[in-house]
Structure 1
Amino acid sequence: MDQHQSLITWYVLFAVSQATAVVLVLVDRNTLADRLAAAGLLCLNGLWFLGYGRKVVKRGVADWRGLVHAAGSLATFAPAVWFSGNATFALFGLVPQLYMALPVAWAFVPMALFVFTPQILTWAAGAVPALPWPGALLIIGFSQAFGWAISRIAQQNEQRGELLHRIEALTIEAERARWSAEIHDTLAQGFTSIITLLQAAQPDVDLALRTARENLREARALVAATAPSPLDGSSLEDALRRLASGASPPSSFRVIGDPVPLETSVEVVLLRAAQEALTNAARHSGASRVDVVLRFGPDGVSLEVRDDGRGFGDAPEGFGLRGMRARLEQVGGTLSLSSDQGASVLVEVPL
């Protein structure tokens, strides 16, 4: 139940208790003038809550405004009880109001005044209180315990709301990061390859068309939230071989060791790492050739992309490499970079 629904429930309780008190006052045996006066004061009490107390409760901040509400409510409740003892029934709605508008420690004194009001007025009139003093004390103790429970529930609901809000914010942030990485690893890299091919004016237009079609499949894969399209219906080795054959500069691909089945998450990380490394080689290395090697060992699998270009130099890691490291962390893998006679990107994932 959210805060709005909870408040509506309390409003219904207040209205029912107030209406019941008015009916009991009107059927009292007092004079007609006393009954009408008590009923009118209870109506004023309800209007005070609607005009001021409801705003205090709705704010959800227990402070001095709750004391103002309590004073105004007591100012109309006490004379109503003086004219008719049946107005005491309104306490079923008034006491919870105090604990919703005031801190628990602050609410105790106003609550005790409300509960003792019928006793004090009856005693002042020289009559015997209908409710024994021990009974009044018992009601005070129960009301304080009830108020503490209300306060705890309100705090827990607030903490739960803050936690859900935080989880939602983190989920959105993680999803944005995932989509950013997916777009960078697929569409941006693919279109960069197309631009590079066209700028180089290579005669093999079919290569550019294949790259464009590959990126169209990637876009559809992103929308469908499935595995990367190069892996659809094929092995990781085949996907890497197609990726290397469509890369520029010319790239070779080979497999060392006996291939073993890998989890889809590991295959995706290796494929994205190869895409990022090949894109970086095309953009920044000035290389004439790139070698892609997939190794299967007894303890893990590794992917190395090495070119004969100018290396990494002192340039800081860009978004792509940071995204690659983040992906590898999710599967327990590591990333190593080397600039010995070109650039080398080595990805290792334990099995």
Structure 2
Amino acid sequence: MSLFWRIFLLNAVVLVLAAAALLLGPVTVSTPVLFTEAVVLSGGLAVMLVANAVLLRVGLAPLDRLTRAMTTTDLLRPGPRPTPTGHGEIARLIRTFNTMLDRLEAERGDSAARALSAQEAERSRVARELHDEVGQTLTAVLLELKRVADHAPPTVRDELRQVQETTRGGLDEIRRIARRLRPGVLEELGLVSALKALTTEIAGHSGLSVRRRFDGHLPDLGNEVELVVYRVAQEAITNVARHASAGHLDLTLSHDRDRVDLRIRDDGRGLGDSAEGSGIRGMRERALLIGAGLTVHSEPGGGTEVRLRVPIPTRSS
């Protein structure tokens, strides 16, 4: 039965019952209308309106739940689907909405995976060019400066030495950027070594005091999952160094029977009332790609905690 006919029949039932009560009951209407008759009719009308409102509220309650779900749905934070309660068109509408959400989440996941894959490929290309082209060029410049400085008069030699140091600092910075773009330590030595190198580098440049704890015998997560964990940790730690005004940072990588937990907590100023930026949304997109859950908890003046819960991949025998 369509929604139109359901509402029509609900109103028809109320009106028929009211007409039957008026025809078969002791109530009559005089001309002019007596006060008692007006009271009875007013009370009957009030009863009709209340009964109609209750019936409509019960019948349209699933639509209210669907409206709330539509206004609160976030594809980056998948939640439970609204239950397809009700009958006829309402239940079909809720099922259609759930199907649409499934399709949108799948399409967003595919597009995000392609975008992040392209981003990683571009990062690797830029890192290689920085290392192979710019790095080698600056290395050649350093060697030439050394050769010139060795044969230069003393008045010019000191200035050439300063240029050497500036060039060497630029070369070190380029190498650091290349390492962040393409974490070779992650590919060669694994996730724990890459996280240690990342925190050591951040601490050296930002002055953060970093405390690390890694569980022993971490399960093999696979290259794709380890890259996501590393990128989430990299983004979170970079945000702390740049924006949190923190002095201490704790990084924990632990595991239990079915998942690996990454926790990064600082003692900075917290997120406050500011909306989530592109960095956090990027972390959420990466977490969705591997079926992980990401939570960002912050208290004003109490720091921020980023937690990534990664399910351990099952190995088919």
TM class by smaller structure: 0.3 to 0.5
**Larger RCO, structures 1/2 (Cα 8 Å, 6+ apart):** 2
Quick check: which has more Rg, 1 or 2? 1
Larger helix proportion of the pair: 1
